[in-house]
């Protein structure tokens, strides 16, 4: 099994392409559709790089796997589906995330909250057949309810749950996030895997301006993760996570990302004038009156 990473420095996102050298069966995990918020313009530079690699290696893309509905980048899953005939899959609890954000973004009665925008909804412990690749699904909620990690052989792809040990873990302050759940996901489930299990993270924020890292191990994480080691008490982690999350700004692409990603990476439908529109609520986190004065 081979793994190729693709890094988007604009959002600190890692996309992974995993394939079987013998059969050329492949999956892509967490692809990026580039988005420039000032002009509200999408481009395909990041996903084009993945596509070119697939074509150069004559790979058969079976699935695009999302670890969750990302809040920091738009998904490039639909482009890969259209170009390579892959299916798009995500954790089954995406329906909870859809229900939450349908109301926040006023997405209207036509927006479905049953997950049917995706080709497959994946349950905890399920083994997905991606040609010759067997993908074990491990539900790892906490960052969002729908977060899953994917285990292929000895390689674990953790999305926003577990990062490189010098950075820590994912934030838990999004709607329906839970520091308690993330502790259980990592401490009781991921840390139960063999220490030699390779861990491929969904983001690397390069603390102290160190070079890019995207791979560690379960053993290294248990020994040295700065936020959650094997000997970290649950109450200590939850206290730390809540305090840290209270200091974090909203991701730069939060509003466009979430409403596109809960729709399986599909952009809003064209209106009668031939244009597409995102919903951007004003003062979502700190409501105001008509002229901008804080309420309450």
- Domain ranges for the chain, please list them: 2-261
Q: How confident is the model at residue 284, as a pLDDT?
A: 84
Question: Cα–Cα distance between 128 and 254 in angstroms, integer?
Answer: 29
CATH topology (fold) of 2-261 = Metallo-beta-lactamase; Chain A (3.60.15)
**Residues 199-209: pLDDT tens digits?**
999 999 999 99
Beta strand pairing call for 155-157 and 148-152: antiparallel
**Residues 67-99: pLDDT tens digits?**
999 999 999 999 999 999 999 999 999 999 999
Tracing tokens 């409403």 back to the chain, one arrives at: 259
The three-point CA angle 137-123-180 to 5° equals: 80
Question: Cα–Cα distance between 53 and 93 in angstroms, integer?
Answer: 31
Mean pLDDT of 116-127: 98
Lowest mean pLDDT of 12-26, 110-124, 271-285, name the range.
Answer: 271-285
Q: Tell me the pTM.
A: 0.96
Beta-sheet strand order (sheet of 215-217): 127-130, 133-139, 148-152, 155-157, 198-200, 215-217
Q: Helices in the chain by DSSP H: which ranges? A: 45-56, 77-84, 94-104, 179-183, 218-224, 234-245, 254-261
pLDDT(296) > 90: no
Count of CB atoms situated within 10 Å of the CB of 268: 15
Burial (0-12, 13-18, 19+ Cβ within 10 Å), 80: buried
**Residues 200-254: pLDDT tens digits?**
999 999 999 999 999 999 999 999 999 999 999 999 999 999 999 999 999 999 9
């Amino acid at each position: 099994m081979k793994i190729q990473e693709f890094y988007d420095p604009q959002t600190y996102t890692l996309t992974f392409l995993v394939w079987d050298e013998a059969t050329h069966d492949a999956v892509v995990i967490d692809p990026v559709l580039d988005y420039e918020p000032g002009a509200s313009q999408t481009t395909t530079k990041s996903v084009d790089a993945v596509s070119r690699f697939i074509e150069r290696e004559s790979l058969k893309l079976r699935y695009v796997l999302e670890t969750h509905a990302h809040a920091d980048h738009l998904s490039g899953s639909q482009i890969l589906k259209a170009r390579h005939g892959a299916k798009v899959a995500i954790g089954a609890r995406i329906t909870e995330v859809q229900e939450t954000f349908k109301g926040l973004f006023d997405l209207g009665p036509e927006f479905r909250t049953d997950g049917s925008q995706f080709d497959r909804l994946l349950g905890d412990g399920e083994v997905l057949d991606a040609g010759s690749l067997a993908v074990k699904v491990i539900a790892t909620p906490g960052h969002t309810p729908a977060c899953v990690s994917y285990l292929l052989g000895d390689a674990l792809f953790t999305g926003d749950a577990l990062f490189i040990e010098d950075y820590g873990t994912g934030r838990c302050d999004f709607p329906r996030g839970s520091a308690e759940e993330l502790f259980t996901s990592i401490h009781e489930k991921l840390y139960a895997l063999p220490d030699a299990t390779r861990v491929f993270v969904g983001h690397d924020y390069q603390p102290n301006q160190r070079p890019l890292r995207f791979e560690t191990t379960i053993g290294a994480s248990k020994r040295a993760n700065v936020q959650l080691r094997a000997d970290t008490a649950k109450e200590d982690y939850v206290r730390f996570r809540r305090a840290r999350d209270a200091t974090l700004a909203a991701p730069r692409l939060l509003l466009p990302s979430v409403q596109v990603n809960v729709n399986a990476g599909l952009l809003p439908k064209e209106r009668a004038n031939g244009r597409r529109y995102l919903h951007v609520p004003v003062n979502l986190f700190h409501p105001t009156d008509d002229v901008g004065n804080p309420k309450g």
